[in-house]
Amino acid sequence: MYRGRSVAIVIPAYNEEGFVGDVIETVPDYADRVYVVDDCSTDGTWEEIRRHARRVNESASVAVADGGVQTDRRVVPIQHEENRGVGGAIKTGYERAREDEIEITAVMGGDGQMDPELLDRLLDPIVEDRADYVKGNRLLDAEDREEMPTFRLIGNGILSVLTKIASGYWKLGDPQNGYTAISLDALEAAPIEDMYEYYGYCNDLMVKLNAYELRVADVPVPSRYDDEESHISYREYIPKVSGMLLSNFIWRLRVKYLARDFNPLVFLYALGAAGSLAGIVRSLRNVASGGDDESRSSGLPIVLLGALSLVLAMIFDMQANEELEERDFE
């Protein structure tokens, strides 16, 4: 228990035999359940999970009145029969935590990048009813930004902008950070069953949380970059996540501003997108046909009107979601 709340930790692991054991051994003592999900690893990850789970559970065993021993089931090993992706592994853990009615569920990677001593930073906003979902942010502190590899920093910045637009959480950054905590209420409210199972699961979840008016907070949490090996293929990752975010953006507007409530900013977004596209197409056609300077620029006013509509829609979207986001700079 942590400050009177039951806590679970989901540890997704894929080919992490050299790291997952240490992660299991160092989870905070206040965690009531630890769901360690092996996503059909091809190395010795599953054996490591079972060995360390057995050791931790046996060390927490207690004697009972009849002279026997009651083994604690604090660490729960789970194995996927087929590889589903890190999002799929986390989804499995979320569903188990929801079934067990755990009040707060955190996620810690099986690669050892997330410092367990900082977990309380993620739990406090939920315990204090300031947020329904809390995520780490490696970009809030200048020193943390300097420690992040350059290629990660650039990619993170691009995806941060795209995720702000898609999710409606305009103040929050570092959407790729997987060190998170979520309340039971949020797990029951958001469509977790439909959560994206590739590495863009964290971006996808933020969109779902916003559509259902759930509060999200950012807290400063640095990562540790050691000898772990990334399983991300950026050639596949960037196109997949970008396409997913576009689809999710349209879904969020439909669910949040048309189905569950109504907000005319949807029409500003639609008008802006249509106007900008029409203006660009018109200008390109005039250039291709060899028209004069006046005809070549005839599409510019339409593009500008479209851009203005998009900017206004974003401003109204920011205002509509302002109370759903919080940043903690402590």
pLDDT(21) > 90: yes
> What is the reported pLDDT for 290?
66
Structure tokens at 20: 């997952």
> What is the reported pLDDT for 230?
59
pLDDT(268) > 80: yes
pLDDT band at 69 (very low <50, low <70, confident <90, very high): very low
Amino acid occupying residue 98: R
> What is the reported pLDDT for 111?
92
> What is the reported pLDDT for 63?
39
> What is the reported pLDDT for 227?
53
> What is the reported pLDDT for 280?
84
> What is the reported pLDDT for 220?
92
pLDDT(68) > 50: no
> What is the reported pLDDT for 217?
97
pLDDT above 70 covers a percentage of the chain that reads: 89
> What is the reported pLDDT for 15?
96
> What is the reported pLDDT for 330?
59
Arithmetic mean of pLDDT, 248-269: 95
Q: Report the mean per-residue pLDDT for the chain.
A: 89
Lowest mean pLDDT among 71-75, 105-109, 191-195, 230-234: 230-234
Neighbours of 147 (CB within 10 A): 13
pLDDT above 90 covers a percentage of the chain that reads: 70
Higher pLDDT, 285 or 205: 205
Question: Residue 256's closest CA among 208, 217, 310, 215?
Answer: 208
Arithmetic mean of pLDDT, 155-183: 93
pLDDT band at 65 (very low <50, low <70, confident <90, very high): very low
Cα 327 from Cα 202, distance rounded (Å):
17
> What is the reported pLDDT for 300?
81
pLDDT(130) > 80: yes
pLDDT band at 9 (very low <50, low <70, confident <90, very high): very high
C-alpha neighbours within 13 Å on the C-beta side of residue 97:
35
Q: Which of 6-10, 137-141, 156-160, 306-310 has the highest mean pLDDT?
A: 6-10
Arithmetic mean of pLDDT, 142-170: 85
CB 187 within 8 A of CB 97: yes
> What is the reported pLDDT for 70?
44
pLDDT band at 322 (very low <50, low <70, confident <90, very high): very high
pLDDT tens for 179-212 read 999 999 999 999 999 999 988 999 999 999 999 9
**HEC states along the chain?**
CECCECEEEEEEECCCCCCHHHHHHCCCCCCCEEEEEECCCCCCHHHHHHHHHHHHHHHCCEECCCCCEECCCCEEEEECCCCCCHHHHHHHHHHHHHHCCCCEEEECCCCCCCCHHHHHHHHHHHHCCCCCEEEEECCCCHHHHHHCCHHHHHHHHHHHHHHHHHHCCCCCCCCCCCCEEEEHHHHHHCCHHHCCCCCCHHHHHHHHHHHCCCCEEEEECCCCCCCCCCCCCHHHHHHHHHHHHHHHHHHHHHHHHHHCCCCCHHHHHHHHHHHHHHHHHHHHHHHHCCCCHHHHCCCHHHHHHHHHHHHHHHHHHHHHHHHHEEECCC
